[in-house]
A and B are shown apart, each in its own frame.
Chain A
Amino acid sequence: MAAKVNMSPKKNPMPCQQPAVRARNFDEVATGYDEAAALDEALRCLGCKAMPCVSGCPVNVHIPEFIAKIKEGDFEGAYQVISRSSSLPAVCGRVCPQETQCEARCVRGKNGEPVGIGRLERFVADWHNAHSTAAPITEAPNGHRVAVVGSGPSGLTCAGDLAKKGYEVTVFEALHTAGGVLVYGIPEFRLPKSIVQKEVDHLKAMGVKLETNMVIGKTLTVNELFAMGYEAVFIGSGAGLPNFMGIPGESLKGVYSANEFLTRSNLMKAYRTDPVTPVSKGGKVAVVGGGNVAMDAARTALRLGAEKVYIVYRRSMEELPARAEEVEHAMEEGIEFRLLTNPVEILGYFNCDDRRDERNGSVIGIKCQRMELGEPDERGRRRPVAIPGSEFILDVNTVVMAIGTSPNPLIKATTEGLEVNRRGGIIVEEATGATSKAGVYAGGDAVTGAATVISAMGAGKVAAKAIDEYLCSK
């Protein structure tokens, strides 16, 4: 079909809530393309034969093919193309870093902006969720049982891919709700929980069983799963304990890890007006770190009513690891970036005259020093160096540490023969996700440490394929 091409150098803009409005509510920031915008954006795709975008996608979604379906107005057809490769299109369309993946390879990006692939994917997935009631298609049951540990992006993907092939899959989740980081970590305003629930419901409709409140490594061990008749186990248990800086004052009242702060707000709904689970609201907040989790924590603090929110990051804007879009949104909303700034101490309130004063032991400030960039380190990143005598105090009453996590020790501690690396991440063969223990596969943050949703999905996909081959050859 010789469709016309839209030669505009710019993407169709993503409709968003106004910054001043959205900074005070938890509704989704980006509201999504309508059909006209989607059609217009789809017409920017040249449908090139080389398809560089596909190789930029960790799960190799057939991008030009689904965009061609949009051009035809066949939105359900477009969804079917995406769902061949991705189990969670409505999630990926929202949280994937497209600018460094598919869109980074787009030919249109050489002379203007690339095609808004992520925005189109989101449109297609939302259209499907709103309009389609078709039951998912799966192959006939093959009689093999697989256990998936963790219901985050890697676990859900692995479960979905295996269910499609006719496997009987049970997903074991430690928390009371499925979704992993999609539910406890990523805030409502970036990924509405109803969307995650839809994806989970979709898997259930495919026959995947979900067991919540099951902590593998405690309630049941991996060996017990095998004894129960599961023939293979995929471990997607995610990242574990939060890191702290080791500076004085990190145990004061009002200091959180980003995991705790976000879990209270997202999973436990502390953002509601009259919540059951508490979280610090209002006041002045410093978020330490520069990744996506730091942006999520800062923007959550703002929506919880903070009068001032700082991002404190020891390098410069150039090294900031968060997605450009998240940084832009945060800045528009009024979050202040204190770059080349490193905390050295968190200061607490102590009333010497009244030991029963309830404010005793609460945060009243964070002492920082200014940094400059020195020589590059072994990874080529310029090392931040403290400027002597540059200490200053930021007046805050909440501090959120968003400086990464270390792997969860529970499964390793109870699974003999499962090898982990020096940092505690499970060691796998990259091409298959196979661990050192026969029949056990792993992927996502449990292997790599904190990374992206889509890379975890990619790992879940690789492992599903390897598990299928392993069980077919048995």
Chain B
Amino acid sequence: MYKITAKKALNPTVVQMDILAPFVAAKAQAGQFIILRVDEEGERIPLTVAGFDRTAGTVRIIFQIVGATTAALGRKNAGDFLQDFVGPLGCATRTDGLKKVCIVGGGVGCAIALPIAQKLHEQGAAVTSVIGFRTKELVILESEFAAASSRLCVMTDDGSYGTKGNVCAPLAELFAAGERFDEVIAIGPLVMMKYVVETCRPTGIPCTVSMNPIMIDGTGMCGGCRLTVGGKTKFACVDGPDFDGYEVDFDEAINRSGMYRPFERHAYEKDCNLFGKEVH
């Protein structure tokens, strides 16, 4: 069992938790992920590491309540325990030698982008961060990004905060003004990453994306997390989760991510009915 040492709501649907898991905390690096089960009958869900404290032995996760399992996780409080917590899995984000980087985060993907921005900032790189959200009340981690970036752009789809528009707009503007980076690292919804890649493509700047497909074991056994990258089958759990954005078949990944949507919707509605909540 793994103790929840701290819990904080970052916005109405996004929750941050610190989990006591000393073996995972000792090894975790930005870009890697963990798999957890809330209770004994629970499903295994992958979540990318949002931070870690090697001294305290804790790992930070940030998740959005989107379905039955994340809803159950969200009902747990500091002092409660999680059934299983395993990791760190996957490969760390490569940051060696990068001096000037643009980090693009979308929604809860910003939680994963932050430790990468922080790592780059600590190693002395100039970090431009572009973070996007649907609306003002969903904005998370703004001050943390500000502290880790030499330039920060906050975008909302409806213009209720920061600049109105999606994350591709400021990126395109920077490129048009002649700005160049050693690398662009994009983390967020699949559709967002797809368009960030297309925005980068004419510049030829390397563009890394972090994929979070459907997964069960997360250790290279089931093959559920397969993606087509550069025409070859790759497994996000052992080959990723980071991939060269130019090579990823996003349309296929978007299609596969919807495989269980009707099931998930049903499970979430059932959970919400049980706990008398509105379905988001």
Give residues in A with beta carbon < 8 Å to B. 174-176, 184, 212-215, 218-220, 238-242, 244, 246, 250-254, 256-257, 259-260, 263-264, 267-269, 276-278, 358, 360-361, 408-410
Contact = CB atoms under 8 A, between A and B. Distances in A.
A278 B235 contact: no
Nearest to B23: A219
A219 B86 contact: yes
Contact of A174 (B23, B217, B260): B217
Given A219-B86, A260-B223, A268 B260 contact: no
Nearest to B249: A251
Nearest to B251: A361
Contact of A259 (B87, B222, B228, B259): B222
Given A176-B84, A259-B223, A358-B262, A214 B216 contact: no
Nearest to B41: A276
6 contacts: A184-B221, A215-B219, A241-B238, A244-B223, A260-B224, A276-B68
Given A242-B222, A257-B223, A276-B41, 13 more contacts: A174-B217, A176-B84, A184-B217, A184-B221, A214-B86, A218-B88, A219-B24, A238-B221, A259-B221, A260-B216, A268-B44, A269-B41, A408-B221
B220 to A, nearest CB: 5
Interface string B207-237: 0000000001101111110101000010100
Contacts of A257: 222-224
A218 B27 contact: yes
B55 interface: no
Given A244-B233, A358-B258, A268 B216 contact: yes
A410 B219 contact: yes
B143 interface: no
Contacts, number: 111
B258 A361 contact: yes
A215 B89 contact: yes
Contacts of A254: 259
Given A244-B233, A278-B263, A360-B255, A409 B220 contact: yes
A176 B41 CA distance: 11
A176 B220 contact: no
B223 A215 contact: no
A264 to B, nearest CB: 7
B222 A215 contact: no
Contacts of B262: 358
Q: Which 5 residue pairs of A and B lie closest in terms of their CB atoms, listed nearest first?
A: A361-B255, A257-B223, A242-B223, A213-B86, A260-B222
Given A176-B37, A268-B43, A276-B42, A213 B223 contact: no
Contacts of B233: 244, 246, 250
Interface string B65-89: 0001100000000000001111111
B252 interface: yes
A242 B216 CA distance: 13
Contacts of B222: 242, 257, 259-260, 263
B43 A241 contact: no
B256 interface: yes
Contacts of A361: 255-256, 258
Given A219-B88, A242-B222, A276-B69, A263 B217 contact: yes
A220 B23 contact: yes
Contacts of A220: 23
Contacts of A212: 84
Interface in B159-181: none
A361 B260 CA distance: 12
B240 to A, nearest CB: 13
A260 B37 CA distance: 18
Contact of A251 (B85, B87, B252, B258): B252
A315 B84 CA distance: 43
B261 interface: yes
Given A215-B87, A218-B89, A276 B267 contact: yes
Nearest to B83: A176
Contacts of A175: 217, 219
B87 A263 contact: no
Interface string B19-59: 00001100100000000010001111000000000000000
A239 B42 CA distance: 25
B259 A253 contact: yes
B43 to A, nearest CB: 4
Contacts of B41: 269, 276
A251 B251 CA distance: 11
Contacts of A213: 84-86
B226 to A, nearest CB: 7
Contact of A219 (B27, B221, B223, B226): B27
Given A212-B84, A213-B86, A219-B86, A276 B43 contact: yes
Contacts of B68: 276
Q: In the complex, which of the residues B68, B220, B221, B233 has the most CB atoms of chain A within 10 Å of its own CB atom?
A: B221
Nearest to A254: B259
Contacts of A256: 224
A175 B217 CA distance: 7
B69 A215 contact: no
B260 A278 contact: yes
Nearest to A348: B255
A252 B228 CA distance: 12
A238 B221 CA distance: 9
A471 to B, nearest CB: 26
A174 B84 CA distance: 11
B216 A264 contact: yes
Nearest to B221: A259
Contacts of B226: 244, 251
Contacts of B27: 218-219
A169 to B, nearest CB: 19
B216 A219 contact: no
Q: In the complex, which of the residues A184, A218, A256 has the most CB atoms of chain B within 10 Å of its own CB atom?
A: A218
A251 B256 contact: yes
A214 B219 CA distance: 11
B85 A410 contact: no
Contacts of A251: 226, 228, 249, 252, 255-256
B256 A253 contact: yes
Contacts of A214: 23, 86
A184 B233 CA distance: 23
B228 A408 contact: no
Given A218-B87, A218-B88, A410 B220 contact: yes
Q: In the complex, which of the residues B41, B216, B267 has the most CB atoms of chain A within 10 Å of its own CB atom?
A: B216
